[in-house]
Structure 1
């Protein structure tokens, strides 16, 4: 299987879904290529040995990498950060077109804009993509203060809905993320939880030499290490306040803050003003050196702002801490705290509450050394059994394989044919459709178009368009008359001739429908399908389909669904051409327009039948 990794962050930048992930995918037997930018995170300056140019190809440990230009920046300026994200998205969208077509694309989020090249590949080449969400947009933008303008946040929200709708599958790092996406309309069956792993290759857990502890002034002290980005989301003022309190009652405690970020200078200045000798700042270290610092710790600290968003996330350092086998002080609510508790690996405390951090530190200090060691070993065992690179990558491969199978290479031909045929039909039929719209307006009234939310591929809702075929005539109590009384002679003609379906060509052009596929039914039917029947949503719905040329509305629901699923398993370009030809013949003969004794198809109420 050919897999394209689309990620703005890649080695030598610090990222755990970078080269390590690519190597493990290759070890498990897959061809991998990477589309990324020039390394500049987290400092916002291009790394030594690189310079921004049009394109740069390189091979990293056997993995081909295409780097595309971007505006390097990662400071507090929202405008500059946006330019950084958008410049990568634009150049990656161009670069993606020059790569050999993969079977599936993987998109690492953040930033959300990294989805743009994947959307383009899906539109032009029919490449399905799996979207891996590490934080929620626009929620994170607002929570971290990066962007506060409602209009921009709303625009980002709309863009995210487009991404969710077009992604073949969505992967999230926690159950909380999954719940939030379901609330936003993403079908549950389209979401899988795969917790993150850590850099098992570069992070070497080598115990520090005694002289190393002495040089850092950390001998005979209780060392609490925070390793990672120090930004606004981490809210590390709590560390300074706790250090101030513990300085008197627990003079052996040392807080060691390791890393970079936009808050480092301010925190250092504040620590000097308070004369906090029990807080040590160390510069950012490469992954190959961070293991030593984790090993000199007696406890490892995780902390985020007390924001509802962070209650459903799991900071990436959590996995590194679990693997390190040290007790964890978890200052994050929700999923992260639950993970530490499930692993019996540390103490959770209320975020941004100084007294809670102080009490958690006291609790760990009062434990015996062997009790803290057992706590760390429990976390380490939990990591290898639940969160390891091998386990996580295997879960991704299962998703990639399923997605690639459901979007075979023939689907790209199908999509290209849909685009060309729909566009040509709209050009040729534009005038007749306009005249038909005038007739509908004259005899049936406004609106000319009937629009309704229907389930598309993977059950994702979209707005389907048809010409109106019924009046809005109502009974004295205000309820609509039965379909048979509202369906006028004009409406019957439009349905029997299938002219009412012509506006659906716009849905085909937008990629929401195909010319051929199972007909989109009602959203209310989704929970009524058996597992077998629900497979009809594995492909785009169509203007016509295998069921339509085998009986249309004269079929029972069970028969119709059996034909739909047969099409999903046997679809091909030649079969589509056959269905289109037979559809024309059916329309000319006007066969199967309505179910027996019904003006339209009766409501589907569910069935006990799971398969034919």
Structure 2
């Protein structure tokens, strides 16, 4: 098949932004012609990646994959105006300068975040007559509302309703809608997306985190017997990390240490809270470069996944769940719904009640009681589960199957013959 990928985020951008590139490589490895439409790389710093200069468009070839990059306004800070400019500029630029590269495809995979990708998606769907598999990587407007990005008030409510209507139009135009968790599929079904359209296609992880030359224990002055819990990611309101700080303050085992890596809107507050609570077993590492992440993953005997209770937590699947399983490390999940279910089903995790410092403190004591050797066994079980359920190879097979289904759909074949 001739398969297109439409995504604002792509290599060499790190973290979740790198996942579409892994899909492209896997599909090309399965014998398909792959054409990617994306932007110039600027995530997460908001500055263009080394080796790139902004231009109206740029074509690249990466092995068997063709890549069309189009201009955008580079930004990834907390400014609502600049973030809208980033999303909107890519959408318009992709529509004008990118969609010619998608002509003649058999099918198109679309990563839906941000939802402004609807503009080039709709053009490709209705003008080029290419069927679409829409992969819902983030639930909009839910994720934006939960982050506090919209603020509050009547204007925010109107924007939220407008985004909900926009998303509904995206779902209607797609031949299939893939969700990364069962809870998200149930939610979209409740919002009127036909069940026959919905698929469960979990996301994979950056599998390079599996390989590492060592860990950071010596650099951080950690003893061999210390049980290390790592939280790596955004420090925002949605993560609800205040309860982790409080739980660490209640954990007296001298072997325990918690490493927090990342940055975000609550970082200063969390640092002050740790100091005020006397949580001397918590260390803030700041934002680490990408090449240090494999070593950080190896440093943690367990990795912490947290979502504030309510809102999106019951149907959100944080990408660090798959990343931790892929790296063969144990999980401590303080969240409801799908993330907690994976922790239990994989055999790799301990769960706690989100927002409950006592429950989380009990889980921290359980980590210490298990010790490093038993936590290593939990991590090994998690890696087996990842290979079976979440790997890039499994994900690419599921995407390929869904794309074949939309291409072979009798209704869509008939519409193409009428062109």
Are 2:164 and 1:160 equivalent residues in the alignment? no
The residue number in structure 2 matching 1:356 is: 359
The CA deviation at 1:263 is: 4.0
Higher relative contact order (CA 8 A, sep 6+): 2
The residue number in structure 1 matching 2:83 is: 81
The CA deviation at 1:375 is: 1.8
Are 2:231 and 1:226 equivalent residues in the alignment? yes
Are 2:349 and 1:346 equivalent residues in the alignment? yes
Are 2:258 and 1:252 equivalent residues in the alignment? no
The CA deviation at 1:128 is: 1.0
Give 1:206's match in structure 2, choosing from 212, 222, 228: 212
Matches within 5 A, 1:566-585: none
Q: Which has the larger radius of gyration?
A: 1
The residue number in structure 1 matching 2:6 is: 6
Are 2:404 and 1:401 equivalent residues in the alignment? yes
Return the TM-score normalized by structure 2. 0.91
- Describe the superposition over 1:499-553 as per-residue Cα deviations: whole angstroms up to 9, x where unpaired: xxxxxxxxxxxxxxxxxxxxxxxxxxxxxxxxxxxxxxxxxxxxxxxxxxxxxxx
- Aligned CA distance change for structure 1 residues 32 and 205 (closer, same or farther; 3 Å): same
Cα distance in 2 for partners of 1:391, 1:398 equals 11
The residue number in structure 2 matching 1:22 is: 24
The CA deviation at 1:298 is: 1.4
The answer as to whether partners of 1:40 and 1:73 remain within 8 angstroms in 2 is yes
Cα distance in 2 for partners of 1:213, 1:369 equals 13
The CA deviation at 1:176 is: 0.7
- Aligned CA distance change for structure 1 residues 97 and 323 (closer, same or farther; 3 Å): closer
The CA deviation at 1:374 is: 2.6
Are 2:278 and 1:281 equivalent residues in the alignment? no
The CA deviation at 1:271 is: 4.7
Number of residues paired by the alignment?
410
The answer as to whether partners of 1:242 and 1:358 remain within 8 angstroms in 2 is yes
- Describe the superposition over 1:456-504 as per-residue Cα deviations: whole angstroms up to 9, x where unpaired: xxxxxxxxxxxxxxxxxxxxxxxxxxxxxxxxxxxxxxxxxxxxxxxxx
The residue number in structure 2 matching 1:92 is: 94
The residue number in structure 1 matching 2:248 is: 243
- Aligned CA distance change for structure 1 residues 31 and 264 (closer, same or farther; 3 Å): farther
Cα distance in 1 for partners of 2:157, 2:13 equals 32
Cα distance in 2 for partners of 1:91, 1:405 equals 31
Cα distance in 1 for partners of 2:401, 2:10 equals 23
Unaligned ranges ≥5, structure 1:
416-612
Matches within 5 A, 1:74-473: 74-99=76-101, 100-147=103-150, 148=152, 149-200=156-207, 202-206=208-212, 208=214, 212-220=216-224, 221-246=226-251, 249-264=252-267, 267-268=270-271, 271=274, 276-285=279-288, 288-406=291-409, 411-412=415-416, 414-415=418-419
Cα distance in 2 for partners of 1:196, 1:303 equals 18
The residue number in structure 2 matching 1:71 is: 73
Cα distance in 2 for partners of 1:169, 1:381 equals 29
Q: Secondary structure of the equivalent of 1:97?
A: helix
- Aligned CA distance change for structure 1 residues 225 and 16 (closer, same or farther; 3 Å): same
The CA deviation at 1:329 is: 0.4
Cα distance in 2 for partners of 1:115, 1:413 equals 25
Q: Secondary structure of the equivalent of 2:228?
A: strand
The CA deviation at 1:61 is: 4.1
Return the TM-score normalized by structure 1. 0.63
- Describe the superposition over 1:414-438 as per-residue Cα deviations: whole angstroms up to 9, x where unpaired: 25xxxxxxxxxxxxxxxxxxxxxxx
The answer as to whether partners of 2:205 and 2:323 remain within 8 angstroms in 1 is yes
Cα distance in 2 for partners of 1:48, 1:194 equals 33
- Aligned CA distance change for structure 1 residues 318 and 124 (closer, same or farther; 3 Å): same
The CA deviation at 1:167 is: 0.4
- Aligned CA distance change for structure 1 residues 35 and 160 (closer, same or farther; 3 Å): same
The answer as to whether partners of 1:205 and 1:295 remain within 8 angstroms in 2 is no
Cα distance in 1 for partners of 2:385, 2:308 equals 26
The CA deviation at 1:12 is: 1.3
Are 2:82 and 1:51 equivalent residues in the alignment? no
